[in-house]
A = this chain, B = another copy of it.
Amino acid sequence: FLSLDASCKQIKLRNLNSTNGIYTIVGANGNPYPVYCDMTSDSGGWTLVASVHENFIGEGVGRCTVGDRWSSQQGSSALRPEGDGSWQNLNTFGDAVSATSDDYKSQAYFELQATDIMVWQVPNDTPALHFSSAAYLKYRTTDGFLTRFGGNLYKLYSVHYPVVAGVYTFPSDSGPSIPVVFDRGSVNTVLSHMPINVEPNVEAGYIQFRAISIHRDAFAFCPGVRNKPTFYNPSQSCIGSSGKTEGLTYCGDFSGLMHNGHAPGTGWSADNTLLKSSFLIFYR
């Protein structure tokens, strides 16, 4: 599990028999650091670079509070429309072994040069040994879209599609949506966990980046779906919003996936499976 390679892809190319696990790779500045590698999906070579985990999405509390590292840990403020800015800066947090119990951002998120991304939806508190078997959804892009946006999500967000509230126009400034193929589950699985009221407004089988709402809030990442251009508030289909315009209602790592007054799995709230899962994001 020790390696002088710079990514899971390099490890796999050098040794086709590599198995899933945590490997030590070498960063852009020469430092070794650990990453989880998936060595099976589409022949493997996928580096886990981030996870989005919601630690508390209670009604009126727990929104953009401590631990909401993919949105804001300091509430929503007009003075700070980008929130903590983690999608587009160089901070790091969490650990690969804790990727389903806490937010995680590896230096691989901004250092690797990649062409595609993969997402696994894994129940919270699953150990790394079981990430792959426990995932109830696995999907990935196949068209090499990252090449067009700088080779990783850091470049995509910092250069092309900054996640900032209040400055972009609905719907024309929403970012690209990229089609995905499924290694586990299907478009129906995606929709079955999304809020019921969302279904008419989205198309499953995509990942969309920086969806803009009619209120001009910016949602970083729509996992498994893209929004129809007429869907004026992607709050309940996307994650990672600092929610400046609409404030705390849609602020948080999981944004509006649970909507006030709607029980999990009803109305505008995702079901408990999704609410108690983490989104694991891989590069290759």
Task: In the complex, identify which listed stretch (A71-79, A172-180, A196-204, A225-233) lies at the interface while the others stay far away.
Answer: A71-79
Min C-beta distance of A94 to chain B, whole Å: 8
| A101: chain B residues within 8 A (beta carbon) | 89-91
| A2: chain B residues within 8 A (beta carbon) | 32
| A143: chain B residues within 8 A (beta carbon) | none
A128 and B29: CB pair below 8 A? Answer: yes
A127 and B90: CB pair below 8 A? Answer: yes
Interface: A168 (CB within 8 A): no
Query: A36 vs B27: C-alpha distance in the bound complex, in angstroms?
Result: 12
In chain A, residues 1-59, which have Cβ atoms closer than 8 Å to a Cβ of chain B?
1-2, 21-24, 26-34, 36, 55-56, 58-59
Interface: A192 (CB within 8 A): no
Query: A92 vs B127: C-alpha distance in the bound complex, in angstroms?
Result: 12
Majority secondary structure, A binding face: loop
Interface: A107 (CB within 8 A): yes
| A79: chain B residues within 8 A (beta carbon) | 56, 58-59, 61-62
Contact of A127 (CB < 8 Å), options: B28, B58, B77, B94? B28
Query: A200 vs B161: C-alpha distance in the bound complex, in angstroms?
Result: 43
Query: A148 vs B274: C-alpha distance in the bound complex, in angstroms?
Result: 33
Interface: A246 (CB within 8 A): no
On whether A30 and B1 interact (CB within 8 A), knowing A66-B74, A95-B92, the answer reads yes
Min C-beta distance of A36 to chain B, whole Å: 7
In chain A, residues 118-142, which have Cβ atoms closer than 8 Å to a Cβ of chain B?
124-129
Interface: A221 (CB within 8 A): no
CB closest chain-B residue, reference A107: B97
A90 and B125: CB pair below 8 A? Answer: yes
Query: A125 vs B21: C-alpha distance in the bound complex, in angstroms?
Result: 30
| A158: chain B residues within 8 A (beta carbon) | 125
Min C-beta distance of A130 to chain B, whole Å: 10
Mark A85-114 against chain B: 1 for CB-CB distance below 8 A, else 0: 000011110111110111000010011000
| A116: chain B residues within 8 A (beta carbon) | none
A65 and B58: CB pair below 8 A? Answer: no
Q: List 8 A-B contacts (CB under 8 A).
A: A1-B26, A23-B31, A29-B96, A62-B80, A66-B66, A90-B102, A97-B107, A97-B111
